[in-house]
Amino acid sequence: MTSREADAMRRPAFSLPPGTCDTHVHIWGPFDRYPVAKGAPYTPPERNAADLRALHARLGVERAVIVQTTVYKSDNRAMLDAIAASGGAYRGVALIDASFGDAEFQALHDGGVRGVRFGFVKHLGGVPDLALVQRTADRIAPMGWHLVLHLDAANIPEFEALLRGFSLPVVIDHMGRVPVAEGTEQAPFRILLDLLKRENYWVKVSGAERISAEGPPFRDAVPFARKLIEAAPDRTLWGTDWPHPNVRWDPDEADLVDLLPEFGDDDALRRVLVDNPARLYGFA
């Protein structure tokens, strides 16, 4: 048995509370039904909905939010089919393009989608069409949806004016991808903390493996997660980011779960893991 195979069998030491939601996962495949889009920025291994269910059974996760990746661009079928088969346990965050109109948005809503994601990360295509971002924000706000923004740390000061202009709920992925080596006083992190003073801003304390400088088990990310939860305990979410596209270290998800007690006390974790995602995504 390889070390990765052993990791895939290990259960975390920390017991997640009932109703825990992993708010950041992706699925790819089966590729014979859902082929990768032409021009996709990377070609991932197949990781389908059955693999996701197996992961969550190991971790003790009951709910999930599937986040569409650039692998499929605006073809959201794999995500929608997984949501439909989940018995109400999954929601989704879609990618859209300029062709989407009322019928397409309504079909996404009926399929369990509650947000649209835009990425600013250079290796995934860079800055999106900002006019489309604004039009989409205006279009989805009346539906009770939110924006999800995937930013590099440098994007936060660069686009601070844009970020401060939104009035609908906005979720920032992966702690803003701020590098831990630059400390909690770095300008992008200070701006992120200030944005969280606004009632419409949310953040995911996911991506410890992305921002870490030390590597597994990524404890150097803990001070950042703690400060974000302290800043907005009712607007913080958590996710594994499985299957971890384009990472330096491929983590054991049990390690990510076992970091959680260092993020906050039981009350804070109950909000982050259960109450906040239930409210944002409309779980019962």
Q: Which of 22, 152, 241, 255 is catalytic?
A: 241
Q: Is the dihedral of CA 41, 49, 55, 8 positive or negative?
A: negative
Using the predicted structure, report yes or no on whether residue 7 has a pLDDT greater than 60. no
The rounded distance, in Å, linking the Cα atoms of 163 and 159 is 6
pLDDT digits (tens, 9 = 90+) for 153-192: 999 999 999 999 999 999 999 999 999 999 999 999 999 9
Using the predicted structure, report yes or no on whether residue 2 has a pLDDT greater than 50. no
| pTM exceeds 0.85 for this model | yes
List the chain domain ranges.
Answer: 3-281
The rounded mean pLDDT for the chain is 96
Using the predicted structure, report yes or no on whether residue 17 has a pLDDT greater than 80. yes
Residue 3's pLDDT is what? Answer: 47
Q: Is 267 a catalytic residue?
A: no
How sure is the predictor about 123, in pLDDT bands with cuts at 50, 70 and 90? Answer: confident
Residue 8's pLDDT is what? Answer: 66
- Residue position matching structure tokens 């969550």: 56
Q: CA 229: distance to chain centroid?
A: 16
- CATH code for the domain defined by 3-281: 3.20.20.140
Residue 80's pLDDT is what? Answer: 98
- Phi, psi angle pair for 4, to nearest 5°: -70, -40
